[in-house]
Amino acid sequence: MLQVEDLSIAFQTAAGPLSVTRGVGFSIAPGERLGVVGESGCGKTVTGLSILRLLPRRGTEIRGRILFEGRDLATLSEPQMREIRGRDIAMIFQEPMTALDPVFTVGEQIGEAWSTHFPGSRAEVRERVIDALAKVGIPLPARRHDEYPHQLSGGMRQRVMIAMALICEPKLLIADEPTTALDVTVQAQITDLLLEISERAGTALMFITHDLGVVAEVCTRMITMYAGEVVEDAPVDDALIRPRHPYTSGLLRSLPRLAERRKQLPSIPGRVPTPAMMPPGCRFRERCAHAAPGCELEQALAPIETGRRVRCARATELHLPGAIA
């Protein structure tokens, strides 16, 4: 359904073009749930935004192809793209308050998302919105319909965002850290809700998150991003139990749940290189405990097994610890 091919994004800055992703490629099948993980600054959000063409036009250079149901999104006009946004592909963000307009009721805002794509009388739209609110588990949906965002808790606002994203029953939902602004208990509820909706409606998910526990629970595939590149792409169970890239393994080892059994939380030494200071060769090399001669060369994202690709010279020879060590 979605195919991202060789996507490279660069921003124009005073110091010249700054490349933030390079050669990113992955695909999402109908109903598939793809987790996208990686430390801060790895390019997860810009990749998600580029799919919906939401990056600033000026000063952004995008290369590669994004195919949705066979159509290259870059070739569509802005009105054609607006047709797709919300109806076929929807996105939810980390901070629900910034995405909701304080001066309109939640019902008006969700209704607008529907009316942009489909005709209907006011009464019909209202009924649909109330139904959407009920589907995302909002109690007393008819009353909430007429309330303003500030009258709702953070968890309820995120549910409103999800209702707005899902009202047109999109084929793909891109969720960018949808729970990080919420309490831990509410996080679990929202995560469960997204999984339930995806299973019930067959909605494909691109779930961007720092939380590998969430990926384990929700997703069917996972890509690991590092310094603007995809370094591993695998079915979730394979990636979690037997990671093939040292960075994926490092992320798994720093999962808090696993560390409880250990004395100290193992963390990956060093930090992600900044786009302006990208090292040559394997971009993870300076932090990698397995670096060896050959790693100073550029690494390709190479298939190593069916349905699995890894960007590491030593992928097939290393035995790396996963979530179940």
Ligand X SMILES: Nc1ncnc2c1ncn2[C@@H]1O[C@H](COP(=O)(O)OP(=O)(O)OP(=O)(O)O)[C@@H](O)[C@H]1O
Site for ligand SF4 contains 284 (CB under 6 A): yes
Q: How far apart are CA 39 and CA 224, in angstroms?
A: 9
Nearest to 84, CA basis, from 2, 5, 159? 2
- The binder of 51, among ligand SF4, ligand X, Mg ion, none, by C-beta within 5 to 8 A per type, is none
Output 76 or 295, the one with its CB closest to ligand SF4.
Answer: 295
Site for ligand SF4 contains 42 (CB under 6 A): no
Which part of the chain contacts ligand SF4 (CB under 6 A), choosing from 44-52, 54-62, 162-170, 290-298? 290-298
Nearest to 175, CA basis, from 165, 189, 187? 165
* Placement of tokens 């607006």 in the chain: 82
Contact 179, 161 (CB under 8 A): no
Nearest to 60, CA basis, from 4, 9, 15, 118? 9
| Residues 187/195/38/300 CA torsion (nearest 10 deg) | 180
Output 29 or 297, the one with its CB closest to ligand SF4.
Answer: 297
Paired residues of 36 in beta bridges: 208, 223
Residue 204 in tokens = 């494909």
- The binder of 46, among ligand X, ligand SF4, Mg ion, none, by C-beta within 5 to 8 A per type, is ligand X
Q: Which long-range contacts (CB under 8 A, 24 or more apart) does 82-85 make?
A: 82/116, 83/117, 84/52, 85/52
DSSP letter for 118, please: S
Site for ligand SF4 contains 313 (CB under 6 A): yes
Question: Nearest approach, Cβ of 205 to Mg ion (angstroms)?
Answer: 16
Selected from 246, 250, 275, 322, the binder of ligand SF4 by CB under 6 A is 246
Nearest to 250, CA basis, from 289, 276, 218? 289
Question: Nearest approach, Cβ of 268 to ligand SF4 (angstroms)?
Answer: 11
Selected from 3, 5, 11, 281, the binder of ligand X by CB under 6 A is 11
- For residue 278, report the phi and psi dihedrals to the nearest 5 degrees: -70, 125
Tell me which H or E stretch contains 217: helix 212-218
Which part of the chain contacts ligand X (CB under 6 A), choosing from 34-42, 128-136, 248-256, 285-293? 34-42
- The binder of 11, among ligand SF4, ligand X, Mg ion, none, by C-beta within 5 to 8 A per type, is ligand X
Output 143 or 271, the one with its CB closest to ligand SF4.
Answer: 271
Binding mask 39-58 for Mg ion (x = CB under 5 A): -----xx-------------
For ligand SF4, the binding residues (CB under 6 A) are: 246, 282, 284-285, 288, 290-291, 295, 299, 312-314
For Mg ion, the binding residues (CB under 5 A) are: 44-45
For ligand X, the binding residues (CB under 6 A) are: 11, 18, 20, 38, 40-46, 56, 275
